[in-house]
Chains A and B, each alone.
Chain A
Amino acid sequence: MCVAVPSLITALDGLDAIVDVGGVTRKANVMLTPDAKIGDYVLIHAGYAISIVDREEAEATLALFKELAENIEPEELNP
């Protein structure tokens, strides 16, 4: 229901942030995530950061997926 994209905070002035998603930048407001700082990834929804993305958890999820991929039979993998 809610489009929200992980975006990198590249500049911060009070509550006004500049965020970057794959080379696209726009203004965002960090009133809802007061702990956000430059270099954090935040989920942006309707122009506001609604959550700070936890990098360690992101890495852990990815590692889990990779492990599952490694467990499947080689012939099932795409070349």
Chain B
Amino acid sequence: MTEKILLAHGSGGSLSHDIVNEGILSLLGNPILNKLDDSAVFDVKGKVAFTTDSHVVQPIFFPGGDIGRLSVCGTVNDLSVMGATPLYLSLALIIEEGLPKEDLKKVISSIKEAAEEAGVRIVTGDTKVVNRGNVDKLFINTAGIGIIADGVDISGHNARPGNRVILSGTIGDHGIAVLSKREGIGFETKLESDIAPLNIMTAEMMQASAKINCMRDPTRGGLSSTLNEIAEQSGVSIRIDEEKIPVRREVAAACEMLGLDPLYIANEGKLVAVVEAEDADKILAQMKKNKYGQNAAIIGEVTEKHAAKVTLKTALGTSRIVDMLVGEPLPRIC
């Protein structure tokens, strides 16, 4: 019989200690975390970026990753696209009673692996166990802080007409990989989630050029929503070229099958960068050297503000609006 997490494991008593000590500290331990005081205590110097994200994904294990890797990468990437160097993360687990201990261990191992890859440390955390049905298996919240170097000003407000828009790779991989495992939708593909920490690549990009005006990771809502947000915040319009946007064959096929549009599908290891035109090629070349930017492409440019925030040039040479996603993308038959 598989050992399961019980409600008592969240009681705060000795069973809780077992989970924390055996399940978590043994894998994630570091000098700051190991103190187990009520707060993590450390020094930071300079401008601090601070972010938080709650991760709920169903199923918690999916092709190419799991909720653990997601919870680290999501927060690392939110820091990275602000131009910050991510340093420390918090980790809060809300566990549904009955979760196999083995599953928790796998998730924590993924967290360890992702944190090591990104070079960040988990310095504080919390574990709760709730009644069956109160959460779906496991929810994870992470918060993170990073340091922004002097002179760096990367923000969604900084896109200017004439800037180029660079996308770091193929879109829709994560959303379609996760969708393929949902009940009632199931299809098979070798496709894996693109989930990845992007902080090494963003550091390399910033080293290559100081002319990066904004970066953002197109997670839920997909590329279309991210571009609309940037256009809105910066008071500009963005024009992209359909034929320049990299889409994997499997993603295109699954989207066609389910009546979805890759522009609206989530990514977890991609970023959009809006950069000064003169440095666009240099930044692109740098991105292509990183394994998470091999398929990067310049997909469009920023223009003066028009009525439509984001427009797309189709493969036929016509134009259309690209709007924000409303609601969750659902497979449709009509």
Task: Report A-B touching, CB under 8 Å.
Answer: yes
Interface residues of A (CB under 8 A from B): 1-3, 5, 7, 21-26, 44-46
B246 to chain A, nearest CB (A): 15
Q: Measured between alpha carbons, how far is A24 from B254 in the docked complex, in Å? A: 6
B307: Cβ under 8 A from any A Cβ: no
B333 touches A46 (CB 8 A): yes
Minimum Cβ distance to chain A for residue B25 (Å)? 42
A-B contacts at CB below 8 angstroms, number: 48
The answer for the CA separation of A45 and B333 in the assembled complex, in Å, is 7
Instruction: Tell whether, in the assembled complex, residue B334 and residue A3 are in contact, meaning their CB atoms are under 8 Å apart.
Output: yes
Cβ 8 A contact of A22, one of B180, B249, B259, B332? B249
Task: Evaluate contact between A24 and B334: CB separation under 8 angstroms.
Answer: no
Which residues of B line the A interface, CB within 8 A?
A: 180, 186-191, 249-250, 252-254, 256-259, 332-334
Determine whether the beta carbon of A25 is less than 8 Å from that of B188.
yes
Contact B333 A22, beta carbon cutoff 8 Å: no
CB of B257 within 8 A of CB of A24, answer yes
Report yes or no: B250 in contact with A1, Cβ–Cβ below 8 A: no
Q: Report chain B residues within 8 Å CB of A24.
A: 180, 187-189, 191, 250, 253-254, 257
Given A2-B333, A24-B188, A25-B188, do A44 and B257 touch, yes or no (CB 8 Å)?
A: yes
Residue of A at shortest CB range from B332?
Answer: A3
Chain A minimum-CB-distance residue to B334: A1
Q: Is the CB of B250 within 8 A of A22?
A: yes
* Chain B contacts for A26, CB-based, 8 A: 186-188, 257
